[in-house]
Every structure is written in structure tokens, then in C-alpha cells.
Chains A and B, each alone.
Chain A
Amino acid sequence: MKHSQQYRAKPEHQEKLGFPGDLVDNWQQKAVEKMGDLLNKNRALRVYMDACVKCGACTDKCHYFLGTGDPKNMPVARQDLFRQVYRRHFTISGKLFPGLVGAKDFDDEVLDDWYKYFHQCSQCRRCSVFCPYGIDTAEVSMAARDVMDHIGIGTKYTNEILGKVHDIGNNLGLPQAALINTMEGLEEDVEEDTGVAVKYPVDQKGADVLLITPSADFFAEPHVDGLIGYGKVFHQAGISWTTSSYASEAANFAMFIGSYEQMHKVANRIRKAALDLGAKRIIFGECGHAWRVAYSFLNTLAGPWDFLDPKYPVPQHILEFTYDLMQRGALNLDPTANDDKVVTFHDSCNVARASRMGDVPGGQFEIPRNVIKTVVNKFVEMDPETTREKTFCCGGGGGLLTDDIMELRVKGALPRMEALQNVVDNFGVTHMAAICAICKSQFTKVMPYYGFSMDMINSVHQLVGDAILLGTKE
């Protein structure tokens, strides 16, 4: 996919994050310095550069390779774009015998490949599952993007969005007034629908739960149905909650550009919001990359969380929360409300391979399924080669959810679409539930290319929300 590339970030978007506005003059030298810095700061990168034996086990595992057929989209070939420069500048063999070991100087052509192909990796980690050494191309992509940002080359999509988070608190740039307005609108809709006054609070001090959810939940379809669902669950369980206009974003896009500093900054907005509002628990809404940063990194980046209620893990996933309520019988549910649907479940890549739910390994696979099966009578699994830790990315993760590269997104969705087609044809599946804002956005956009309707994709909490018998537990 040589012709596919994202728009470059403008100088103002770069500088806002502390990166040079445009390609710096001595960029080769600066890039190599940054690589050295990252190699010394990140064991994963250090080990992954050396350990690959070119066995090829990962070559046919990436959805972008399967969709595009471009050999540079094979995970090892993608890593090799980094490795060739690493070899040249950081290894004896590459300094002495570059041709032999595939070492190359960092020239314009290599940089061009870096920009294109490191932005054709959704950092889904599927390749890492199959590599005998666990080599994680996502880590290499992140490092490469970090290097590129440091010499002045970033993508408009992620870096502009990060600027909005720093200014306003979310990726979409929704200010407090707009959030309050949206939430009031939801309250009216739900009351009209159900006759019950469910609250959708913003910035409510003293609420027990601080809900951090992807900002897409505030306005996009089908995301917002998930947000409606969370509200119904909180309502019926009688737990006070709030969102925060200061930290109104779960998805930490800084992970996509591999910047620890940026990730730290964004994550600490959540800490501040929790302290300011006096929350006792933090719960994350449905989003894959958000949950990865939350589950795996939040404690490190923004902890310690000793001011929160120690009874609950920090943070909790909304599905852990809802599932716990279900098990304790705190929710009145009628699964026949979803009898018009035959549902399958798409494991979001970052939830599946980079995080957990509950307290046993693999809880991130079981809990969503258990929740769905509690509120839906007809549930069907897709091909096991495409689910759980082997799941395929939707094709839009890792900072690729931009129309600049629509063709790549469509092709990257191919393996998931094939698995879906299979259960549609054989089991009459009508809906696919997902728990990631990016998956939901990506699928609504690309499913029509495969002959599916865009409303086939659902939030899990929409299914929950539809099954809740409001007005029966208060």
C-alpha cells in the first residue's frame, strides 16, 4: 500500500505537543539519537531488535497484509524498516557488513517507508501472539512514530486530536456546555422512551463513580446507545456516578504515537478529575485502546490511587461492573427484548491481547460473552481462529481511523468481514456487538463496502440497556 498515507501534521499541531513543526535539517542524526534514547529506555524495543530470526511465523498474521497483499505489511517486514537502521547504526555486523544483514542508512527513501508503513499498523499485537519470542510490532511502530515526531513528522489525525485533549479534555473538542447539553438530551430521550427519569450527570461532585468513556459515546452511533445503557445500569443499581468535562476522554491517543510523556499528561487529567470531584471509583466505558491504557498503564502513569475506595480495582471496566451486578441479581433483565437479533461478538484487539477483566486470565474474553448471553438469547461465535487472543483488528485502530487512508481501512477489515459473512450465511447472525469506540466507528464506515448494513454493529451496553426493565427495581 505504497500509495496510502495519512496527512502530515501541521507545524502548529506538532509544536503544541513539543515536537518540531517540520522536518528538522539534520534529521538523520536526530533520528538516530532518538532511536538510541528509546533503545536505552525500553527493553522491549532493545530485545525485539535482536531476537527476530526471520522465521516467517508472523508473516501471514496481520490483517493489513491479508487485506492488501503488500509484503511490507507483513509484521516482520514492518519491524525490519526500523531494524535496518538499527543494524546500521547500533550493531557491529551492520556497520561492517550492511548488505549481508540488511542494514541501511536512514535516507529519504527509508523515511518515506517509515511514514507510510508505521502508519499502516494498528498496533493490534496479533503478530506478537504468534511470534516465538513474542516480538510485538506494536512496540516497534510506537517507537518509530516517536522518532518521527521528534524529527518533525507526525500525522495530522493523532497530533491534532492530542492538542484538543490538552486544551479541552477530549478528542472531539467538546466543551463542558456541549457535554451538558448532550447529556440533557439523552435524559429526555430515555425518559420519553421508558418513562423513567434516568440521570446522565456531568461534573457532579461527590458522586461515587467517575465514568471515563470515549468521547464518541457522547454523540456517535452506535456508541451513544452504549452510553445510554451505562446510565440505565447505574440507575437501576442505584449507584451515583458522573462524567467529567475536564477528563471527558477515555481513549489516550498518546499511546499511538509511542510518547510516554504525552500519555502521562493525558492520563493525569483523569487523576485530577477524580481528585477534584471526590470520586471513590473509576470506571471506563467501552473502548479498546482506552482500556489498554487504563488497565495496563493507568496505575503506572497516574497512580497511586490510594485516595479511592480500595474495595474496587482501579480502574474498572464497565463490563466488569455490569457483570458483577448481574451476578448479584442487582439488575432486572429481560433478554427477550433482544429476540429480534442473532448476535455475534467481535473481540477488540487491545482488550483481547493487551488487557484483562475480572480476576482470572482470559476474563476479557469471558465477561463480555457472559454479559451478552445474559441479555441476548441468540448468541453465535465466529471462527475460533478469529476470536479471543487470535482476534482480528477492525482495521481502524492505532491512530488509523482517518478517511485519509480509507482504502487501507477497508482492506484491513477483510479478515473480520469474512468471519462475519460466514456466521451470517450459516447461522443467520444479524448483529455484531463490540466494546471499542474505534471498532464501532470503523465498522459503521467499512461494513457497507462488504454489503452489510452499518447498523449491524452494536454496543454491548446497548444490548444491556434494551434488556433492562427500568422502573422495576427502584
Chain B
Amino acid sequence: MSLLTVIYALAFYFAVALFVIGLAVRIRLYAVTPAPLKIPVMPAPLTKTGVVFRLAREVTFFESLFKSNKWTWIFAILFHAGLLLVFARHLRYFTQPVWEWVVLVQPFGIYGGMAMVAGLLGLWGRRIVVERVRYITNPSDHLMLALLALIGASGLSMKFFAHTDIISVKAFCLGLLRFDWQPLPADAPLLIHLGAVIVLFIVFPFSKLLHAPGVFFAPSRNQVDDARDKRHLAAWAAPMDAQRDA
């Protein structure tokens, strides 16, 4: 077994563990923090089902972003939808036998990869060209785009320029899952690709990528508009009622 394989295998375990634990800690924090007052942004749904639909529209169509800015919306949709397709395509490396639906979306994964990179470049372009957006950009915002672009570009390059031995890659991936390590091909694009993915896993729970779980926890979007019908008393606020005079 090569040192390279060992390093990548260990790095993967480390990154995935950090990702899962880090994210779980963060999500738990969001979940246990009380929301002391009802603050849905109106017009808001009157039922829980309505809230589910509202959130579903937000995460599938980016409804609010659509209202705000069409260019950002287009690039964001390109990137996220592309990412979804790419993700589906990559499932083939982790399943044996490969699931039927994964086989079916296989060819679209490539277009997904292109869309993803195009979307990223669009978003990056906005960050540079639009003065308002440039003003609010931190170095980490560029780095995040660079990281994702690197993942996309290195992935596409393996498809179009420098083919990798994907049979071995799959063996490596399945080996990781089964704790039975298999050698990783030492191709530069592949190593860059996997290295960047490892970094992505590591930074996820500490970065703005927390918008992914965050969108479900935003009280302005996930609360039911029923403030007149139900008291909504936070545990820390409840004792104040004893102090009121009446």
C-alpha cells in the first residue's frame, strides 16, 4: 500500500468525521436555542403544512432570491442544480451494484459539472464586477469560490483531458467504506480533486456553508403565523410573568 493511499484514506476519515460531528454540533445549537418571539416575515402561512411548502419553495426554487436579483438567481441555480446532478453521478463510486436511477442520471452529471462551474464563475464575476457585492466580500468568500471551482474544474478535466483509472478510483472509494483500503491512482487531477473535496468537508461546519442547514432554522421563514392564537413563551422569558402586577 502506497503512502499516498494511506494519507488520502486517513484524511478522508478525518474530514468526514469533522464534517459530521461539526455539523451535528451546529445544528443542535440552532435547534436548542429558543426563539423567544414570533417573527415570521409576512405574508406567512397559517399552518405547519404551509411552512413546509414555503421552505420547500425556498430550497428548491430559491424563491426569495428570485424576487431580489435575477442574475444572482440564475448563477445560484446553475451552481446548486449542477452540484446536485454531480453528486448523484458520484454515487456510482460508492455503490455496488450501482443503483438504477444513478445509472439513468449518469450522462446528465457531466452537464451538471459544467453548469456548476459556469454558475460559480458567474457568482465570482458578480463579486468582482458589481461594486456593492465587492464591498461586502471577504477574502474567505473568494477562497470558497476558488475551492469549489477547483473541485469542478479538476473533475471535468478528468472527463475531458486526463482520464483517470476510474475502476481503481471506485475500488478506493468502496475500500474506504468497507475499511478495506485499496490503492489510489497517483494522477495529479485526481489528487487535486480529492484533496479539495477533503478541504471542503473540513471547512464546511466552520464557514458560510452553514447556510445549508441554516435556511431551515431561520425563524423569519419557518414560523407559523399564529401569534394571536397561541402564546409562544420561551423558557427563559416565562419567569417574567410572575413579576407583573395585575
Beta-carbon contacts of A65-84 to B below 8 Å, as 1s and 0s? 00000010010110010000
Do B232 and A133 touch across chains, with their CB atoms under 8 A apart?
no
Instruction: Say whether, besides A41-B33, A42-B34, A264-B240, A100 and B227 are in contact (CB < 8 Å).
Output: no
Nearest-CB distance from B232 to chain A (Å)? 5
Least CB separation from B206: chain A residue = A93
Which segment, of B87-95, B131-139, B162-170, faces chain A?
B131-139
Nearest-CB distance from A64 to chain B (Å)? 14
Q: Which residues of A contact B50 (CB under 8 A)?
A: 361
Nearest-CB distance from B116 to chain A (Å)? 16
Taking each of B126, B207, B211, B236, which has the highest tally of chain A beta carbons within 10 Å of its own beta carbon?
B211
Do B132 and A100 touch across chains, with their CB atoms under 8 A apart?
no
- Is B221 at the interface (CB under 8 A from chain A)? yes
Nearest-CB distance from A182 to chain B (Å)? 27
Give CA–CA (A354, B50) in the complex, Å.
17
Instruction: Say whether, besides A51-B210, A54-B137, A57-B65, A133 and B43 are in contact (CB < 8 Å).
Output: no
Give CA–CA (A39, B32) in the complex, Å.
11
Instruction: Say whether, besides A42-B33, A56-B136, A135-B218, A354 and B141 are in contact (CB < 8 Å).
Output: no
Nearest-CB distance from B135 to chain A (Å)? 5
Nearest-CB distance from A253 to chain B (Å)? 16
- Is A55 at the interface (CB under 8 A from chain B)? yes
Instruction: Say whether, besides A56-B133, A364-B42, A40 and B218 are in contact (CB < 8 Å).
Output: no
Do A102 and B39 touch across chains, with their CB atoms under 8 A apart?
no
Nearest-CB distance from B100 to chain A (Å)? 33
Which segment, of B6-14, B66-74, B177-185, faces chain A?
B66-74
Query: In B211-229, which residues have CB < 8 Å from any A CB?
Result: 211, 214-215, 217-221, 225, 227-229
Do B45 and A50 touch across chains, with their CB atoms under 8 A apart?
no
- Is A389 at the interface (CB under 8 A from chain B)? yes
Give CA–CA (A99, B142) in the complex, Å.
13
Give CA–CA (A127, B219) in the complex, Å.
15
Q: Which residues of A contact B240 (CB under 8 A)?
A: 260-261, 264
Query: In B192-246, which residues have CB < 8 Å from any A CB?
Result: 206-208, 210-211, 214-215, 217-221, 225, 227-234, 236-237, 240, 244-246
Query: In B122-136, which residues have CB < 8 Å from any A CB?
Result: 123, 126-127, 130, 132-133, 135-136
Q: Which residues of A contact B246 (CB under 8 A)?
A: 268, 271-272, 275
Number of interface residues of A (CB under 8 A): 77
Do B45 and A59 touch across chains, with their CB atoms under 8 A apart?
no
Q: Which residues of A contact B67 (CB under 8 A)?
A: 129-130, 390
Do A100 and B138 touch across chains, with their CB atoms under 8 A apart?
yes
Q: Which residues of B contact A57 (CB under 8 A)?
A: 64-65, 68-69, 72
- Is B140 at the interface (CB under 8 A from chain A)? yes
- Is A300 at the interface (CB under 8 A from chain B)? yes
Taking each of A51, A99, A139, which has the highest tally of chain B beta carbons within 10 Å of its own beta carbon?
A51
Nearest-CB distance from A208 to chain B (Å)? 19
Beta-carbon contacts of A272-284 to B below 8 Å, as 1s and 0s? 1001000000000
Do A42 and B36 touch across chains, with their CB atoms under 8 A apart?
yes
Q: Which residues of A contact B1 (CB under 8 A)?
A: none
Q: Which residues of B contact A314 (CB under 8 A)?
A: 228
Nearest-CB distance from B83 to chain A (Å)? 14
- Is A303 at the interface (CB under 8 A from chain B)? yes
- Is A150 at the interface (CB under 8 A from chain B)? no
Do A54 and B136 touch across chains, with their CB atoms under 8 A apart?
yes
Q: Which residues of B contact A471 (CB under 8 A)?
A: none
- Is A238 at the interface (CB under 8 A from chain B)? no
Give CA–CA (A124, B5) in the complex, Å.
55
Partner of A43, one of B34, B72, B236, B244: B34
Least CB separation from B234: chain A residue = A41
Do A52 and B211 touch across chains, with their CB atoms under 8 A apart?
yes
Do A42 and B35 touch across chains, with their CB atoms under 8 A apart?
yes
Give CA–CA (A259, B240) in the complex, Å.
13
Beta-carbon contacts of A121-150 to B below 8 Å, as 1s and 0s? 000010011111111100100000000000
Do A60 and B245 touch across chains, with their CB atoms under 8 A apart?
no
Taking each of A71, A74, A296, A314, which has the highest tally of chain B beta carbons within 10 Å of its own beta carbon?
A296
Nearest-CB distance from A310 to chain B (Å)? 11
Beta-carbon contacts of A260-272 to B below 8 Å, as 1s and 0s? 1100110010011
Nearest-CB distance from B229 to chain A (Å)? 8
- Is A355 at the interface (CB under 8 A from chain B)? yes
Do B39 and A354 touch across chains, with their CB atoms under 8 A apart?
yes
- Is B188 at the interface (CB under 8 A from chain A)? no
Do A299 and B230 touch across chains, with their CB atoms under 8 A apart?
yes
Do B132 and A56 touch across chains, with their CB atoms under 8 A apart?
yes
Least CB separation from B63: chain A residue = A132
Nearest-CB distance from B187 to chain A (Å)? 30
Do B42 and A132 touch across chains, with their CB atoms under 8 A apart?
no
Q: Which residues of A contact B46 (CB under 8 A)?
A: 359-361
Do B140 and A299 touch across chains, with their CB atoms under 8 A apart?
no
Q: Which residues of B contact A361 (CB under 8 A)?
A: 42-46, 50, 225
Q: Which 7 residue pairs of A and B lie closest in terms of their CB atoms, listed nearest first?
A: A51-B214, A134-B220, A130-B68, A56-B133, A57-B68, A361-B43, A134-B221
A-B contact pairs, 15 of them (CB 8 A): A40-B33, A41-B33, A44-B218, A46-B30, A46-B33, A58-B68, A93-B140, A133-B211, A134-B219, A265-B244, A268-B246, A297-B38, A300-B233, A352-B42, A362-B42
Interface residues, chain A, with chain B CB atoms under 8 Å away: 39-44, 46-48, 50-61, 71, 74, 76-77, 80, 91-93, 97, 99-102, 125, 128-136, 139, 260-261, 264-265, 268, 271-272, 275, 295-297, 299-300, 302-304, 313-315, 352-356, 359-362, 364-365, 389-390
